[in-house]
């Protein structure tokens, strides 16, 4: 590939090397193990003196294509692909936290990224604090002498609160604190945390990167070789690996990330503007609207506002349920970032059994609707919302 290839070219070609038969698309190396040519070759592979493959938990050529592509797209040293987004999150925690260390995280962080700390890492003596990381003063005052990791999600799920990555990097500098960013909502097409000073970036690949709602997966990209080695060691010994078939599908999805994002984002801008004017809508949080509390930061830090919209209905809980029961184009489902539009009313669906306190903590109010914009015709999406909202009392 040409030197200094741009993002759109990297999306198509990064990580791909010709195989023995010059296949245009990386084959699925659906094999658990690899033969050594002879005893010496086996010894060299294990000593790291040959780049041959050994065993799929330790590395697989199809998975490596995806890892190298993601490293190129995020501008990092290397990538590690995992079986799920949560496997990526826990691998990061395992790498950067030990007994007695402390993590500061975004309060509206993805639910499982929080609960794994509170329920499990706490058993091993890890302390955690959750603050609104969009307020830097709160981040600074949460840091302790034993803080080892500042873990931020921006934009956060589902509040759409935006955290200043470069400012967080400055807070961590010289304190021995690693800064890791969950970049799931933006993808590297819109936001490149390593260039803003983060040590590592991770994704639920399930969402925008794969983009077709047919794979669950994750990836971590580190800035330095030493962090890559640390994470690689955890991955190969604990085994949260991505499998080759999963990687093949993600490589296929990744190629269209740019055009999918452009279309979904253009749809999202129109839908957000339309929703903001609608009499049944009480509030809307979309980084592309000047009404977003961090509109200026979003414009500076992100290449675009993304395709996730959160809004509240004046009719509250019942209106949310009515809306869900009357949409016909948007599908009622969790997850996000696919070519199909998904809608979710957490209070009556995913969080129906969750305590009021826990819902509040997660930023989920009874009126909140989350809308993941797909690439359908925007006029159909707006007509669908218009019809469904006509059933909602204001
Ligand atoms: C979905 C999601 C995760 C978890 O990823 P899985 O692939 O479901 O394990 C983590 N962070 C964010 C922001 C997500 O949206």
pLDDT in tens, 348-385: 998 888 888 888 877 889 999 999 999 999 999 999 99
3-state helix, strand, coil in the chain (%, to 5): 40, 15, 45
Query: Quick one: CA dihedral 63, 65, 71, 73, positive or negative?
Result: negative
Residue 307 tokens, joined? 């395709």
Ligand 1 test: best mutation among 107, 115, 162, 206, most atoms within 8 Å of CB? 206
| CB < 8 Å & 24+ apart, contacts of 344-352 | 344/369, 344/370, 344/371, 344/372, 345/320, 345/321, 345/369, 345/370, 346/158, 346/370, 347/317, 347/320, 348/317, 348/320, 348/321, 348/324, 349/324
> Mind listing the pLDDT tens digit for each residue in 196-248?
999 999 999 999 999 999 999 999 999 999 999 999 999 999 999 999 999 99
pLDDT tens for each residue of 95-118: 999 999 999 999 989 999 999 999
Q: Tell me, yes or no, if 144 is annotated catalytic.
A: no
Q: Which tokens is 251 given?
A: 């490589």
Please say if 207 is a catalytic residue: yes
Q: Provide the 10 A C-beta neighbour count for residue 348.
A: 17
Q: With 0-12 CB in 10 A as exposed, 13-18 as middle and 19+ as buried, what is 165?
A: buried
Q: Rounded to 5 degrees, what are φ and ψ at 13?
A: -115, -20
pLDDT in tens, 302-343: 999 999 999 999 999 999 999 999 999 999 999 999 999 999
Q: All domains of the chain, ordered by start, with CATH?
A: 7-254 (3.40.640.10), 257-392 (3.90.1150.10)
The confidence score (pLDDT) of residue 249 equals 98
Q: Answer whether 0.75 is exceeded by the pTM.
A: yes
The verdict on whether 3 is a catalytic residue reads: no
With beta carbons less than 8 A apart as the criterion, state whether 16 and 29 touch.
Answer: no
Which numbered atom of ligand 1 lies nearest the CA of 89? 10
Residue 70 near residue 81, CB atoms below 8 Å: yes
Confidence check: pLDDT of 393 > 80: no
Ligand 1 centroid–CA 183 distance in Å is 10
Partner residues linked to 106 by β-bridges: 131
Give ligand 1 pocket residues (Cβ under 6 A). 84-86, 110, 113, 153, 157, 182, 184, 204, 206-207, 216, 218
Q: How far apart are the first and last CA of the chain?
A: 56
The vertex-204 CA angle with 198 and 210, nearest 5°, equals: 115
* 342: β partners: 331, 372
**Residue 339 · residue 260 · CB < 8 Å:** yes
> E strands along 158-226, which residues?
178-182, 200-204, 218-222
**66 within 8 A of 247, measured Cβ to Cβ:** yes
């Amino acid at each position: 590939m040409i030197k200094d290839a741009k993002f759109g070219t990297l999306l198509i070609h990064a990580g791909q090397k010709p195989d023995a038969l010059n296949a245009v698309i990386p084959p699925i190396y659906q094999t658990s193990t690899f033969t050594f040519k002879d005893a010496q070759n086996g010894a060299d592979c294990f000593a790291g003196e040959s780049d041959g493959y050994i065993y799929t938990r330790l590395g697989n050529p199809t998975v490596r294509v995806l890892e190298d592509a993601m490293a190129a797209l995020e501008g990092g040293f290397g990538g590690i692909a995992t079986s799920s987004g949560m496997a990526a999150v826990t691998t990061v925690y395992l790498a950067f936290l030990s007994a007695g260390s402390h993590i500061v995280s975004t309060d509206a962080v993805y639910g499982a990224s929080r609960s794994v700390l509170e329920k499990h890492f706490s058993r091993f003596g890890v302390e955690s604090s959750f603050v609104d990381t969009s307020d830097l003063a709160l981040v600074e005052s949460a840091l302790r002498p034993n803080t080892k990791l500042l873990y931020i999600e921006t934009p956060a799920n589902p509040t759409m609160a935006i955290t200043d990555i470069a400012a967080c990097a400055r807070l961590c500098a010289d304190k021995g604190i690693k800064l890791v960013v969950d970049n799931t909502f933006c993808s590297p097409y819109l936001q490149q945390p390593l260039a803003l000073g983060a040590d590592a970036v991770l994704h639920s690949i399930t969402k925008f990167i794969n983009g077709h709602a047919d794979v669950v997966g994750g990836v971590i990209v580190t800035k330095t070789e030493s962090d890559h080695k640390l994470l690689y060691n955890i991955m190969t010994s604990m085994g949260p690996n991505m499998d080759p078939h999963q990687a093949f599908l993600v490589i296929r999805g990744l190629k269209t990330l740019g055009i999918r994002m452009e279309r979904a984002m253009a749809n999202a801008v129109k839908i957000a503007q339309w929703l903001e004017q609608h009499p049944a809508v009480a509030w809307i949080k979309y980084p592309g609207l000047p009404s977003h509390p961090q509109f200026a930061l979003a414009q500076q830090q992100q290449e675009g506002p993304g395709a996730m919209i959160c809004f509240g209905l004046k009719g509250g809980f019942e209106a949310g349920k009515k809306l869900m029961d009357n949409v016909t184009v948007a599908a009622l489902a969790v997850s996000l970032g696919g070519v199909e539009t998904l809608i979710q009313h957490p209070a009556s669906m995913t969080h129906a059994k969750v305590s009021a306190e826990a819902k509040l903590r997660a930023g989920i109010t009874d009126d909140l609707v989350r809308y993941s914009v797909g690439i359908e015709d925007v006029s159909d999406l707006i007509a669908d919302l218009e019809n469904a909202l006509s059933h909602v009392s204001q």
